Amino acid sequence: MDLHFGGLSAENDRYDERRIRYKRTGEYMKKRPNYPTWEVKDFRELLDGVVAKYALNTAFLWRDEDADDGIFQKTYAELGEDVRDLATYLCALGLEGKTVAVTGQNSYLWMVAYLAVVCGCGTVLPLDRDLRGDELLSLMLDAECAAVLYTEDMEIKIHAMGESHVLCIPLASAEHLFARGAELRAEGSTVYEEHVVDPFATGILLYTSGTVGVAKGVMLSQNNICSNIVSVCKRFRVEQEDRALSHLPLHHTYECMSNMVMLYNGASIAFNENMRHMPGDMVLFQPTILVTVPAVLEFMSGFVRKGYAEARGGRILLGVQKAASAVMDGTVRHFSEKRSHVNKRKIFSTVNHFFGGSLRAILVGAAALPPQVFRMFEQFGYAVYCGYGLTETSPISLMHDDHYRHAEDVGFPVPGVEIRIDNPNENGIGELCVKGPNVMLGYYKKAEETAEVLKDGWLYTGDLGMATKNGGYRIVGRKKSMIVVSNGKKVFPEELEAYFMQYPIIAECLVFSEEAEGHQRLCVSVYPNFSEAESMLGLGSEDERFSSALKEKLLSIVREVNFVFPQYKHIRKLVIRKNEFSKTTTEKIRRGTPENIEDNSVTCGRL
């Protein structure tokens, strides 16, 4: 899985140039202080440490109708007990040293199952809950999995797997499992205490779900992820009072590792059941930190724009608030960025209330965040952190931090990680390579594929990047998605897509190439934002004039984008989709799939 936090744009470095000017040299990198951290090599060491340090702190929260205030909570001490009990039970089943899968809905039980396996049992195999039963079984068999722990929502899919040698353990009966483990410990079992974790052996096996290619099993050690946790915490401050709202799939390293960052600092994690509950959960749990993906922020930004557009005098109010926010940037921010952000959130009080009233930081991953969305949320008073990484890098290699953020790049290497650009062209663009303690052990049972990407300790990511003037990095696109046109020039579709996504009338887009008259021509497939289109065109979608008006508007946008770029990057064909694109579970559009090019669409032909 690629983890791209933001930073993909053809624009120049215009955002907050004042902050960049004194950071033009790499010397700034050496002067940034690291926050105090404590070293951990494995999850067992991490769990024991946080249980001892933060025993009575709330670790997890979730909706529960039977609770007095509708919220059920678990402390760090209770988390430690549940993990020990479940791990003891799993070992009693003969699973010590085996690979055990965990799948299902984001929940406390999912986290306990994951921690029980890695802290006191064997290797964990986190699986995507959106896979079919046969797909789940196929991955389990490939990983030589001995058992699977699953939440109640997975019951039908697990049963659909049919007969297998995989032991199925429902977490719906977790209280019984915990009680049985507690009984075994009371009877004298010390299997958990005696279990030895090897921090440098394969501890986590993750099957990637990237936008191109076949899924591969990424072998990570516990030290891979723990080193990344410590590195991130050196540059991004998390307090015990902080709270994150967990809503991305927990089987992804990005979300799971982010939750571990919260635990490492004694903070709390609230679980969001689904996107429909997202607005209500923001108000109910009042998170201070939101770890999310661009698609969610773009949806939220559209929701905010729509609210202002529909409110009486909303557009005027928005203009006034933007001006006031700009004043904060030009005055208060010189002395205190934190105070400036607090004041901005007061200016945009309605927006702040929508996000629960306590939000201060947004970490965006899994794909590129459009610069205009970055700027919008910074304008609202939220510190937006972008970065870059892969499942293969546990996952974060580059990121913004408390000393530096910028709309146009993905920041600097996290402490302990080295970055270099391999074979750069005349513009400094080449394959981005990563070296450090966060780099994977290899691909499971795929020695040839491992040798292709791991060379002398360097991971060749397949992503194309370039160094910025101040020593940071910008991601340009995927090596595999790069298009070579007839004159030999190279086109990065992500660059063009970033420009298209600046238009609110476009909800999603994909740039691709096709052969025509012996030449490669560039095409763009667009899924419109129909509500925005209705507002912009002054026509309802049921109006017979709507389709032709929408087509003309999108064609004019294509011409505008073509005007910005040289001729070899010009779009020659427009496809208007009626349905959303097929995506991965982290909302990245899948490239190279036929349904993402022509499925249920209207082709406008050559431009």
With a cut of 70, say whether residue 598 has pLDDT above it: no
- Class of residue 60 by CB neighbours under 10 A (exposed 0-12, middle 13-18, buried 19+): buried
Residues across the chain: 607
- Domain limits, CATH 3.30.300.30, in the chain: 483-606
DSSP calls for 143-164? TTEEEEEE-GGGHHHHHHT-S-
Quote the crossing angle between the two packed helices 253-264 and 43-53, to the nearest 10°.
Answer: 40
pLDDT of 17 > 80? The answer is no
Query: What does the pLDDT read at residue 409?
Result: 93
Q: How confident is the model at residue 535 (pLDDT cuts 50, 70, 90)?
A: confident
The encoded tokens of residue 263 equal 């635990």
Residue 16: is its pLDDT beyond 60? no
Answer yes or no: is pLDDT of 604 > 80: no
CA distances from 403 to 35, 237, 398, 571, 607 (A): 11, 11, 14, 39, 46
Q: How far apart are CA 8 and CA 408, in angstroms?
A: 6
Q: If you ran DSSP here, which 8-state letter would residue 456 be given?
A: T
Residue 605 has pLDDT above 90, yes or no: no
Q: Over 60: is that where the pLDDT of 181 sits? A: yes
Mean pLDDT for the stretch of residues 143-156:
96
Average pLDDT of the chain, as a whole number: 88
| First CA to last CA distance, the chain | 35
Q: What are the tens digits of pLDDT across the range 551-575?
A: 999 999 999 999 988 888 999 999 9
Contact assessment for residue 16 and residue 406, using Cβ atoms and an 8 Å cutoff: yes
Answer yes or no: is pLDDT of 137 > 70.
yes
294's enclosing H/E stretch is helix 294-310
- Which H helix or E strand runs over 532? helix 530-537
How far is Cα 256 from Cα 203, in angstroms, rounded to an integer?
14
On the question of pLDDT at 138 being above 80, the answer is: yes
CB atoms within 10 A of CB 144: 15
Helices (H) and strands (E) in the chain, counts: 22, 29
* β-bridge pairing 202-207 and 217-221: antiparallel
Q: Is the pLDDT score of 360 beyond 50?
A: yes
Q: Is 141 left (phi over 0), alpha (psi -120 to 50) or beta?
A: alpha
Top-confidence range, 239-248, 271-280, 493-502, 513-522: 239-248
CATH of 43-198+242-285, one of 2.20.25.90, 1.20.1260.10, 3.40.50.12780, 3.10.50.40: 3.40.50.12780
Q: What is the pTM of this model?
A: 0.83
Residue 208 predicted with pLDDT over 60: yes
CB atoms closer than 10 angstroms to residue 130? 13
pLDDT value for 590: 82
Instruction: Kindly report, as residue ranges, where domains of CATH 3.40.50.12780 are found in the chain.
Output: 43-198+242-285
SS3 581: coil
Kindly report which listed range (111-115, 158-162, 209-213) carries the lowest average pLDDT score.
209-213
Sign of the C-alpha dihedral, residues 307, 310, 311, 315? positive
Assign domain 483-606 to its CATH superfamily. Answer: ANL, C-terminal domain (3.30.300.30)
Residues of the chain with CATH 2.30.38.10: 2-37+289-478
Express each pLDDT in 318-331 by its tens digit: 889 989 998 888 88
**Nearby residues of 537 by Cβ (< 8 Å), 6 or more positions away:** 546, 549, 550, 553
The percent of residues above 70 in pLDDT, for the chain, comes to: 90
On whether the CB atoms of residues 539 and 545 are closer than 8 A, the answer is: yes
Cα–Cα separations (whole angstroms), residue 489 to 131, 483, 594: 39, 8, 25
**Given a cut of 60, is residue 240 above it in pLDDT?**
yes
pLDDT band at residue 47 using 50, 70 and 90 as cut-offs? very high
Look at residue 12 in the predicted model and tell me its pLDDT.
35
pLDDT at 75 over 70: yes
Kindly report the backbone phi and psi dihedral angles of residue 434, in degrees, each rounded to the nearest multiple of 5, phi listed first: -125, 140
Say which range, 139-148, 420-429, 472-481, 515-524, has the weakest mean pLDDT: 515-524
> What pLDDT was estimated at residue 482?
81
Reported as type and span, the H/E element at residue 300 is helix 294-310
Looking at per-residue pLDDT, the higher value among 244 and 369 belongs to 244
How far is residue 253's CA from residue 232's CA, in Å, rounded to a whole number? 14
* Partners of 127 in beta bridges: 103
Q: What pLDDT sits at residue 329? A: 84
Residue 25 — pLDDT band, cuts 50, 70, 90? very low
Q: What is the pLDDT of residue 362?
A: 97
Q: Is the pLDDT of residue 603 over 80?
A: no
Domain 2-37+289-478: CATH class, spelled out: mainly beta
Would you say residue 160 has pLDDT above 80? yes
Pairwise CA distance, residues 124 & 203, whole Å: 6
pLDDT tens sequence across 395-417: 999 999 999 999 989 999 999 99
Question: Would you state the pLDDT for residue 1?
Answer: 41
The mean pLDDT value for 443-465 works out to 95
Please report the DSSP string for 488-531 in residue order.
Answer: S-EE-HHHHHHHHTTSTTEEEEEEEEEEETTEEEEEEEEEE-HH
Rg for the chain, CA atoms, rounded = 25
Q: Is pLDDT above 50 for 2? A: no
Mean pLDDT, residues 444-466: 95
72 pLDDT higher than 90: yes
In the predicted model, what is the mean pLDDT of residues 268-294? 93
Give residue 607's pLDDT. Answer: 62
Print burial letters for 150-165: b (CB count within 10 Å at least 16), e (below 16): bbeebeebbeebeeee
